[in-house]
A and B are shown apart, each in its own frame.
Chain A
Amino acid sequence: MIEKLKKIVDGVEADFSDIRYEVRKDTRVVFRGRDLSETGANSTDGFVVRVLKNGGFGFSAVTKFEDIATAVTRATDAAETMAGAGASPVKLERYPVMEDSITPNLNEDPLNISAQEKVEIVEKYNRMLLNEPEIASTTLVYSEVNRDRYYVNSEGAKIDERLITTNISGAVIARRGSLTQDMRVSVGGSDGFSRVRGREDVFLKRARIARELLDAEPVRGGKYRVVMSPLLAGVFTHEAFGHFSEADIIEKNPSLRSKMELGAKLGSSAVTIIADSTLPNQLGFYRYDDEGVAVKPVTLMEKGILTGRLHSRRTAAAFGEDVTGHCIAEDFRYAPIVRMGTIFIGAGTKSFEELLKDLDDGLYLIDGKGGQTAGENFTFGAQYGYIVENGQIGPMIRDINIMGNLFSTLKNIVAVSDKVELSERGGCGKGQTNIRSNLGGPHVLVEDMVVGGVS
């Protein structure tokens, strides 16, 4: 395939062109309540062409091989339209020509596990959840996505890499009368099928929390001091801060770009933030991005000072900074954009118990439940939480959403704990879904957080 793609790229009249072909294999097993509602394995494929000509950069994605010539024409037209419209000329940061072929290091290759065994393992967890008291229903999905990526460009790069992601996730729903409470659950990763085996404790814990939420009180709205759990802190790190570290987000927004100057003191000295997709056995792991650049670790913030950001070859040239290998596409339907892989706040020195003591009176909020940002403002849900009085964990609370401003919140982080935990499921939706977005951190103590509530 690589040689076939090379021939196409060689025929493109442009300053630079590349083509990516992908075969995506999806396996899904879906249980809704006691019903098995879907099983199957399928394969889809397609091509993405990018053309740089006269300073314009155009993209086109097609599914049929016979449409590649159309894709080249459309991408070239788009590049010429951009150049003609007076858009800022695009340059690509120089990068060594790489030739490589990567297969993942897996603990049990999911493609070697039978369809029957995949159904059985989901059914086992599902049955276990439904046998718990007051659990009215479930949604459990086994999702396996295998991407075989083949990349060539006009400079001579030839790279293929296989990425496989395995996950069992969904929700457990507790019901008492007309009141329902749901709790998300997820196990999985990018290092093999063994990740989803023997995880009964995780599923049972989520069922217990869903049941306990039936007795929890809705949180009272107001301003609080808050301890965020590692995964909620990870949502903050990814959503509120991380997206501003993606160069393409701030590139055409002068006000944000000026705030995100490298060297700016944006956070308290407790905050160090790292993007590292080279961490082995983590969901966010990969070797090459979707324009053939090897990913490298980037310290985005060190002790509150902005020290780095994430780039594609285009944005690295536009910012005059180094390439980082973060130009990623969901699959063959999309041109790549700048994305985070693994991102987290670095560990501090205090234990969780010491952090609670420092909190004194406030809220302990646990696990993310959807988040959204608009510029520097963010809103995140927490799956559940507890009122903390005198450093002691008290009654459970529910219906929790926090809102804040990125820059004031970074300054309001008082302390972080000494253990980092990373998520097992991704799903960032920056126009395309990145199932390998991997986030986390330690426990994080923040002051002056707005929490919404009905009372």
Chain B
Amino acid sequence: MERLLEIAAAVSDQAEVYFVETDETNIEIRNSELNEITSDIQSGFSLRIIKDGAMGISYTKNLNDRDELVRNAVESLEGGKRVAFDFPGPSGIAGFDQFDPAISDTRPGDLYDRNSELVRFLNERITGQVDVRATTVEKTVIIKNSNGLDVSQKRSTYEVGSEMLFPNTEAGVSILHGSIGPTGIPEKNIERAISLYTAGLPEVDVSTGKMVVVFLPETVFSLIWRIEDASSGRVFHQKIGPLLDREGDKIFSDKVTVINDPHDTNIINARWFDDEGMPTQKLELIKNGVFNGPYLDLDFAEKLGRTPTGNGFRAAVWGGDEITLTPSPGLAHLTILPGGTGFDDIVRNIDKGILVLGVLGPHSGNILNGDFSMGLNPGLYVEHGKILGRTRDAMISGNIYDVMQNVIMIENEKGFSGSCYYPSVAIADVAVTGRG
């Protein structure tokens, strides 16, 4: 890595090497039977160089030929992206790993044993099909640059996604769990999912109209995705989107505070530096409904004449291979500040409404504009504080800048969404289209 940096620095004004190695094991249990085991080791190097105000990039999985990698980066300088920022210097911050060594000892057989117990337990409680996917990941990231930066972090994750399918369908209720080591799923989370599953067994038709809609932790992302898109430094630089001239404005109900906190070590993938080596920081994106401004990587911070916020990440909407991606503004540690209402009380307080446990098509509306129109999969219909069953062919639609004015309750604790941690959010007067 050092040699690569030396060669690259010799032909450029500034150079940066990003290295990542992951060791990942997956098991899949379908219909209570072990269906698949995969176990992969992937690594790679990504190089960025800056010369005469242009950026060159290249990457490889196998560092067989350092000169070729540097040559590819130099070739991409020609007619390449213009930049005016500098790579950061030495960090000077005490970092932290987010790693549990127990992950390294978790073999596929252990993963299966641990989760077949969950399957057995669920099969005793419900009649539908049970599927489980469990994953362990060990990851090491190192970034070095010619300005003296040398940062690294070791991370581990253990994730379980279990789904209980309603009989004769593939719609179901999920139990999502994430931790840095192989921990058990809290019993109350399993019991809540079983209770929702049982209540959702009857299928009901919902009439078209406006009603209370409660987004559970696993579906809050469908709302947050829209604010994430509109508040990116990239969008501000492109001078588009509904938040362009709204800094300091109240855009949501004052009940809503949206935070991105990479330093919260209670969550998976806590980070002390971003994928450009910049220190990460806690951002209050929206505080009591007021929008505080965009989040930025090095490039867009410079282009907008602002201070970088440590949000340069090698990520795309659908994942992707990080060494092949270049850093761009991203948020990976979002949450909504919990409110004061317990989940059972939220349900009890609904006269007519829907609990959204799963959404279909969250990516298909005009996301930048804040629009959404999503299928419920499943949605549970509530009348007079009681769940009557799961909805058939029902949709919810709206625009987050309208509906988030009408937040009436926020749950008092957070649940894992599959990547972030959110409380349930109850919103009044959301448009529902159904067959009733």
The interface of chain A, by Cβ under 8 A from chain B, is 26, 32-33, 35-46, 57-65, 67, 70-71, 74-75, 77-78, 81-82, 84-88, 115-116, 119, 136-137, 173, 175, 178-182, 218, 221-223, 251-256, 333, 335, 369-381, 398-401, 403-405, 429, 433, 450-455
- A401 CB contact (under 8 Å) in B39, B377, B395: B395
Contacts known (A87-B34, A370-B363, A399-B366); A40 close to B397, Cβ less than 8 A: no
Q: Mark B350-372, 1 if CB is under 8 A from A, else 0.
A: 00000000101111111011010
Give min CB distance, B425 to chain A, whole Å: 19
Q: Report whether B364 and A371 are in contact in the complex, using a CB–CB cutoff of 8 Å.
A: yes
A-B contact pairs, 17 of them (CB 8 A): A40-B56, A40-B76, A40-B80, A57-B36, A61-B41, A63-B43, A65-B62, A82-B37, A173-B240, A254-B129, A372-B363, A375-B169, A378-B375, A379-B360, A403-B375, A452-B375, A452-B395
Known: A26-B324, A252-B33. A401 touches B364 (CB 8 A): yes
Point out the residues of chain A lying under 8 angstroms from B131, CB to CB: 252
Verify B76–A222 contact, CB threshold 8 A.
no
Provided the pairs A33-B238, A115-B75, A451-B433 are in contact, do residues A405 and B31 lie with their beta carbons within 8 angstroms? no
Which residues of B64-82 are within 8 A (CB) of A?
Answer: 72-73, 75-76, 78-82
Interchain CB contact under 8 A, A41 and B361? no
In angstroms, Cα B36 to Cα A82, docked, is: 8
| A37 / chain B contacts, CB cutoff of 8 Å | 81
**Residue B185 at the A interface, CB < 8 A?**
no
- Nearest 3 A/B pairs, CB to CB: A375-B170, A381-B364, A370-B364
Do B324 and A44 touch across chains, with their CB atoms under 8 A apart?
yes
Q: Which residue of A lies closest to B168 (CB)?
A: A255
Closest CB of chain A to B330's CB: distance in Å? Answer: 15
Q: Collect the chain A residues with CB atoms within 8 Å of residue B33's CB.
A: 86-88, 252
Q: Give CA–CA (A403, B392) in the complex, Å.
A: 10
Most buried by B among A61, A119, A182, A372: A372
Instruction: Kindly identify, within residues 266 to 325 of chain B, every residue whose CB is under 8 Å from any CB belonging to chain A.
Output: 318, 321, 323-324
Distance, CA A211 to CA B42, complexed state (A)? 44
CB neighbours of A335 from chain B (8 A) = 38
Most buried by A among B31, B56, B170, B323: B170
Residues of chain A within 8 A of B112, CB atoms compared: 81, 85
Cβ–Cβ < 8 Å partners of B13 in chain A: none
7 other A-B residue contacts (CB within 8 Å) besides A253-B129, A381-B361, A401-B365: A36-B82, A59-B36, A60-B41, A379-B395, A381-B365, A450-B394, A452-B396
- CB within 8 A of B62: which of A45, A81, A116, A371? A45
Q: CB of B435 within 8 A of chain A? A: yes
* Interchain pairs with CB closer than 8 A, number: 265
**B 399-434 binary contact with A (CB < 8 Å = 1; else 0):** 100000000000000000000000000000001011
Q: Return chain A residues, CB-CB under 8 Å to B373.
A: 381, 399-401, 452-453
Say whether B331 faces chain A, with CB atoms less than 8 Å apart: no
A221 to B210, CA, bound (A): 12
* B108 on the A face (CB < 8 A): yes
Chain A residues with CB under 8 A of B167 = 255
Q: Is the Cβ of B361 less than 8 Å from the Cβ of A370?
A: yes
Q: Are A67 and B361 touching (Cβ within 8 A)?
A: no
CB <8 Å contact, A221 and B397: yes
**Residues of B near any A CB (own CB < 8 A):** 30-31, 33-44, 56-62, 72-73, 75-76, 78-82, 107-109, 112, 116, 129, 131, 165, 167-171, 208, 234, 237-242, 244, 318, 321, 323-324, 326, 358, 360-366, 368-369, 371, 373-375, 377, 393-399, 431, 433-435
Q: Is the CB of B395 within 8 A of A403?
A: yes
What residues on A are CB-neighbors of B81 within 8 Å?
35-39
A59, B37: Cβ atoms closer than 8 Å: yes
Contact (Cβ within 8 A) A70 B242: no
Say whether, besides A88-B33, A378-B360, A403 and B168 are in contact (CB < 8 Å).
Answer: no
Q: Most chain-B CB neighbours within 10 Å: which of A67, A78, A86, A381?
A: A78
Given A32-B234, A33-B238; A253-B31 close (CB under 8 Å): yes
> A222: which B residues are within 8 A, CB to CB?
208, 433
**A333 lies within 8 A of B433 (CB):** no
Q: Identify which of B34, B44, B361 contacts A85 (C-beta below 8 A).
A: B34
Please determine whether A452 and B242 come into contact, CB atoms closer than 8 angstroms: no
Which single member of B244, B358, B366 contacts A374 (CB below 8 Å)?
B358
Asked if B72 and A40 make an inter-chain contact with CB atoms under 8 angstroms apart, the answer reads yes
Q: How far is the CA of A116 from the CA of B244 in the complex (A)?
A: 34
The answer to whether B371 and A374 touch across the interface, beta carbons within 8 angstroms, is no
Residues of B contacting A136 in the complex (Cβ-Cβ under 8 angstroms)? 238-240
Closest to A433 in B: B318
Instruction: Tell me the complex Cα distance, A341–B119, Å.
Output: 34
Is B41 a contact of A67 with CB atoms below 8 Å?
yes
Given A376-B170, A381-B373, A81–B361 Cβ distance below 8 Å?
A: no
Contact A333 B321 (CB under 8 A): yes
Closest to A84 in B: B109
From the candidates A70, A82, A371, A376, name the one contacting B41 in the complex (CB within 8 A): A70
B35, B39, B109, B168: the one contacting A60 at CB < 8 Å is B39
Residue contact A35 to B62, C-beta cutoff 8 Å: no
Q: Smallest distance from the beta carbon of A443 to chain B beta carbons, Å?
A: 21
- Bound: A378/B57 CA distance, A: 40
CA distance A37 to B76 in the complex (A): 11
Whether B39 contacts A374 by the Cβ 8 Å rule is no
Tell me whether A61 and B38 are in contact (CB under 8 A): yes
CA distance A248 to B383 in the complex (A): 39
Given the known A-B contacts A82-B34, A453-B431, are A64 and B366 also in contact in the complex, defined by CB atoms under 8 Å? no
Q: Is the CB of A221 within 8 A of B59?
A: no
Closest to A257 in B: B31
Distance (Å) between the CB of A172 and the closest chain B CB? 11
Nearest to B235 among chain A residues (CB) is A137
From A65, A380, A403, residue with most partner B Cβ within 10 Å: A403
Q: With both chains docked as a complex, state the minimum distance between the C-beta of B251 and any C-beta of chain A, in angstroms.
A: 11
Q: Which of B364, B394, B396 has the most CB of A within 10 A?
A: B364
Chain B residues contacting A40 (CB-CB under 8 Å) are 56-58, 72-73, 75-76, 80
Please pick, from B42, B72, B170, the residue contacting A333 in the complex, using a CB distance under 8 A. B42
- Please measure, in the bound complex, the distance between the C-alpha atom of A376 and the C-alpha atom of B358, giving whole angstroms: 14
Residues of chain A within 8 A (CB-CB) of B59 are 42, 44
Among candidates B61, B73, B108, B365, residue contacting A44 with C-beta atoms closer than 8 Å: B61
- Across the interface, B360 reaches (CB within 8 A) one of A38, A71, A373, namely A373
Answer whether A60 and B40 are a contact pair too, CB < 8 Å, given A41-B76, A137-B238, A222-B433.
yes
**Chain B residues whose C-beta falls within 8 Å of the C-beta of A404 in the assembled complex:** 393
- B169 near A333 with CB under 8 A, answer no
Question: Is there contact, CB below 8 Å, between B326 and A38?
Answer: yes
Q: B39 contacts which chain A residues (CB < 8 A)?
A: 58-60, 74-75, 77-78
Which residues on A sit within 8 Å (CB–CB) of B116?
85
The answer on a CB contact under 8 Å between B366 and A63 is no
- Complex Cα gap A64–B22 (Å): 13
A405 to B203, CA, bound (A): 14
Complexed CA–CA distance, A370 and B318 (Å): 12
Interface pair A372/B108, CB less than 8 Å apart? no
